[in-house]
Amino acid sequence: MSQSPAFVLNVLETPEDPEGSQEPSPYDESEVHDSFHQLIQEQSRWVAEEGLELQQRQPETGALGASGSDHETMLGPEGAPVYSMATLRILASMPSRTIGRSRGAIISQYYSRTVKLRRRAGRPQLRDMGRSARPSLRLYDLELDSAVLEEEEKRGLLVKELQGLTAAQRDHMLRGMPLSLAEKRGLREESRPPRGKHRAQWHRGLLSCCDQLRDSCVLASHNLGLALLSGLQALMPWHYALKRIGGRFGSSVLSYFLFLKTLLAFNTLLLPPLLAFIVGVQAAFPPAPTGPVPAFTGLELLTGGGYFTHSVMYYGYYSNATLNQPCASPLDGSQCTPEAGSLPYSMPLAYLFTLGAAFFITCITLVYSMSRSFGESYRVGSTSGVHAITVFCSWDYKVTQRWATRLQHDNIRTQLKELLAEWQSRQHRRSACGQLRRVAVLGLVWLLCLGTTLGCTLAVYTFSELMIKSPVSAEREAVLLLLPLVVCLLNLGGPYLFRILAALERHDSPVLEVYVAICRNLILKMVTLGILCYHWLGRRVGTLKDQCWENFVGQELYRLMVMDFIFTLLDTLLGELVWRLFSEKQLKRKGKPEFDIAGNVLELIYGQTLTWLGVLFSPLLPAMQIIKLLLLFYIKKASLMANCQAPRRPWKASHMSTVFISLLCFPSFLGAAVFLCYAVWQVKPSSTCGPFRTLDTMYEAGKVWVRRLEKAGPRVSWLPWIHRYLVEDTFPIYLVSALLLAVIYLNIQVVKGQRKVICLLKEQISNEGEDKIFLINKLQRVYERKERSRSSREAGQSQELSVLTSGANLGPVFSVKCGRGP
């Protein structure tokens, strides 16, 4: 009977191996961990040679077959099957049990890596050594604690191989081993050569200066990389503050501050082109003043007029001259005539193209952020065992400081609360009567909310018409604050009314409650902005024919931003601080108010929409928005820590960032883009101010530029061709749109296919697990039958031996008795 040299079972006593068999060396240790399928085949062949047969699996008897109660696997005290030592050894030798899990397998794996490194250095390979010099894994009996002996043998081989490496390679190898720190220190101490040996090698010239210099450079570069990484983490804005907020209040409140950080990045990306190509250039070549400049009084910080009107703050200050030519801006409104064949820096063209390029970059960045957020929130093939992953895989063992461990502890605890609350919300079901009552309440609340929105819209429209009928002089600019004041009051009072009505709905899911509040606030703010856009481009353009209506629109948007910031501060002060003090002192309540995620997020979207609407009429509005966002972060953070508490019903905001980015993209950015496109293509610019004062529309600046390029010479003749066939012609736009839709459709189909493949792979993994259980039970029964056959054979042999022994003892007695006959 032969046995494959790739496996060492030692289950039963077997005859000696053939003469030609060879023992596996530690170098070929990977052969020990062969596939489970090959093990089943060899063991089945071995059992077949002994005359045993595998029993067929019967469906009615489960995984153990129908061979009777004698063949069933024994059960432990907790109902788990108890296998024999042979089956447990086979289980331990399976690849899924040995690779990357046991300590011996880890040492063996890194021993193989050190062999490869040593082989690169030109040292003699272990394969070339004699077999007598290589210890065998089969010299030890598995029944006599062979696992410990094998581990010690592998450890010794690993130490020898580590001694042959350089210090840098040895440290790098030890640092990457998935072992405890104590075991790593032990391996480092054992593999470190003696000092005398180092000195001898140094005096003999084995350790050259080049090697020492190389090791020093590697160590210095490694330390420099670590320092740069720590510096980059320190440069990340609000890194520690965001971790603290997430650990204390959960991902729902953290999503607001992450969204604020995203808006800050968008405005930071939008501002540099405007400063470089519009504001900076005009500041370097200021136009001639058209009249006396008023003195700065301080009221301009609220109204946006006065001194700011004659600065780079607004559209009307920018000239239509060629700024790189020695030509002053004429007072009669005509353009400077450039020299023949030259390409001057045209301010109208720079104004139009810079805004278009900035909006295009913002659009690309916004779409990319939204797609990335969708990929992170709706991850393909996401596992369902999130609770186990959070419990066993969330802790960062590199954390050593006390405040960091406390912060991480709070974060994990909050995550577990959110997961459990989400799981409990899925288990709750309503009856039919409860659902009907809920639908009726929802319909009534939605009617009241839509009625409130309609009333606010009518109030804004009526007040804007009143402002048109009663013009305001320059001395009474403070009256212009009335319309922004009314709009901000309605935007502040409407969400509070919505929150009171939402208390009647009693949503089971806090996520749904936030989504409904966001939808209602969004409808209110977008309808209000729509009325204001009609007021500016539909009514004010006609009434301000002889004035610079672009400056008026820019000032209106400036006043709205300032008043919105002031009302946000008042809401933070009165709605959070004063209410907390009142509830603690007068109402004797210990609980603090919760952070209003929906209202605060809609305030951010509303402010960003104002910025995008006004960037054409006031190029410095993104700078104001950046300052506003920075102040809001620190004010909201301080108020959150002092006046608010964590949500009473924790919930996980896994898709909240995706929803925020989507709302920022479609209602906000898309609406602002439509507003600006209408102003550029349809509305006639003012004839007294701005870079487009002599044109019928702002878009005609591109046509004027094309005509100049045609006269500039043949060197730039390709630019008019691009404008004619790629900009004015609509076919390329339709073609690009069709290609974009096709790519989106293909990506959607690819994602669906990946989801199906992942589901099939999950089913296949489940089936593979069932197959392994079936095969293990088969092996268990095979060994049980072999043990019984061996026991019966030994019992028969013992009986025969006892019979022979008794016969041998009775023979002399019988012969003596026969000899004593008469």
Over residues 609-624, the pLDDT tens digits come to 999 999 999 999 999 9
What residues are paired with 75 via a beta bridge?
81
Q: Is the pLDDT of residue 115 over 80?
A: no
H helices of 330-431, where?
347-377, 386-393, 402-427
Would you state the pLDDT for residue 451?
A: 95
Mean pLDDT of the chain: 75
Better-predicted residue by pLDDT, 201 or 473:
473
Would you state the pLDDT for residue 692?
A: 92
Question: How many residues does this entry show for the chain?
Answer: 822
Q: Is the pLDDT of residue 84 over 70?
A: no
Would you state the pLDDT for residue 412?
A: 80
Better-predicted residue by pLDDT, 803 or 460:
460
Would you state the pLDDT for residue 812?
A: 52
Question: What average pLDDT does the segment 80-103 reach?
Answer: 55
Of the ranges 26-30, 236-240, 608-612, which is most confident?
A: 608-612
Question: What average pLDDT does the segment 104-115 reach?
Answer: 61
Which of 84-98, 384-398, 714-728, 741-755 is predicted least confidently?
84-98
Confidence label for 59 from pLDDT (cuts 50, 70 and 90): very low
Would you state the pLDDT for residue 474?
A: 62
Of the ranges 496-505, 589-598, 796-805, which is most confident?
A: 496-505
Q: Is the pLDDT of residue 286 over 60?
A: yes
Q: For residue range 735-771, what is the model confidence (pLDDT) as tens digits?
A: 888 888 888 888 788 878 888 888 888 888 888 888 8
**DSSP state, residue 81:** E
Q: CA 418, CA 431: separation in Å to the nearest integer?
A: 26
Would you state the pLDDT for residue 77?
A: 47
Which of 89-93, 194-198, 641-645, 706-710 is predicted least confidently?
194-198
Q: For residue range 322-365, what is the model confidence (pLDDT) as tens digits?
A: 765 544 444 444 444 444 444 478 889 899 999 999 999 999 99
Q: CA 305, CA 691: separation in Å to the nearest integer?
A: 20
Of 8, 11, 12, the residue nearest 23 (C-alpha): 8
DSSP letter for each residue of 559-585:
HHHHHHHHHHHHHHIIIIIIHHHHHHH
Q: For residue range 806-820, what is the model confidence (pLDDT) as tens digits?
A: 765 555 544 444 444
Q: Is the pLDDT of residue 73 over 70?
A: no
Q: CA 738, CA 519: separation in Å to the nearest integer?
A: 31
Question: What average pLDDT does the segment 679-692 reach?
Answer: 91
Confidence label for 180 from pLDDT (cuts 50, 70 and 90): confident
Helices (H) and strands (E) in the chain, counts: 29, 2
Question: What average pLDDT does the segment 40-50 reach?
Answer: 51
Confidence label for 139 from pLDDT (cuts 50, 70 and 90): very low
Would you state the pLDDT for residue 773?
A: 84
DSSP letter for each residue of 584-631:
HHTS---PPPBP-HHHHHHHHHHHHHHHHHHTTT-TTHHHHHHHHHHH
Domain regions of the chain by residue span: 250-290+298-322+344-696, 729-790
Would you state the pLDDT for residue 655?
A: 76
Q: Is the pLDDT of residue 25 over 70?
A: no
Better-predicted residue by pLDDT, 133 or 274:
274
Would you state the pLDDT for residue 519?
A: 93
574 and 494 Cβ atoms separated by less than 8 Å: no
- Structure token pair of residue 73: 């696997």
Q: Is the pLDDT of residue 233 over 80?
A: no
Would you state the pLDDT for residue 152?
A: 79
Would you state the pLDDT for residue 262?
A: 93
Would you state the pLDDT for residue 234?
A: 60
Q: Which residue has the tokens 């296919």?
A: 753
Q: Is the pLDDT of residue 48 over 60?
A: no
Question: What average pLDDT does the segment 714-740 reach?
Answer: 80
Better-predicted residue by pLDDT, 652 or 273:
273
Would you state the pLDDT for residue 269?
A: 94
Percent of the chain past pLDDT 70, that is, above it, reads: 69
Would you state the pLDDT for residue 420?
A: 77
Contacts by residues 266-270 (CB-CB < 8 Å, ≥ 24 positions apart): 266/362, 266/365, 266/366, 266/608, 267/608, 267/611, 267/622, 267/625, 267/626, 267/629, 268/626, 269/361, 269/362, 269/365, 270/358, 270/361, 270/362, 270/615, 270/622
Which of 57-61, 476-480, 575-579 is predicted least confidently?
57-61
Would you state the pLDDT for residue 728?
A: 75
Would you state the pLDDT for residue 807?
A: 63
Residue at 693: amino acid letter: R
Would you state the pLDDT for residue 240?
A: 81
Which of 6-10, 49-53, 465-469, 751-755 is predicted least confidently?
6-10
Residue 103 CB coordination number (10 Å): 15
pTM recorded for the entire structure = 0.67
Of the ranges 113-117, 414-418, 671-675, which is most confident?
A: 671-675
Q: CA 615, CA 627: separation in Å to the nearest integer?
A: 16
- Structure token pair of residue 289: 């003043």
Percent of the chain past pLDDT 90, that is, above it, reads: 26
Would you state the pLDDT for residue 67?
A: 39
Confidence label for 89 from pLDDT (cuts 50, 70 and 90): low
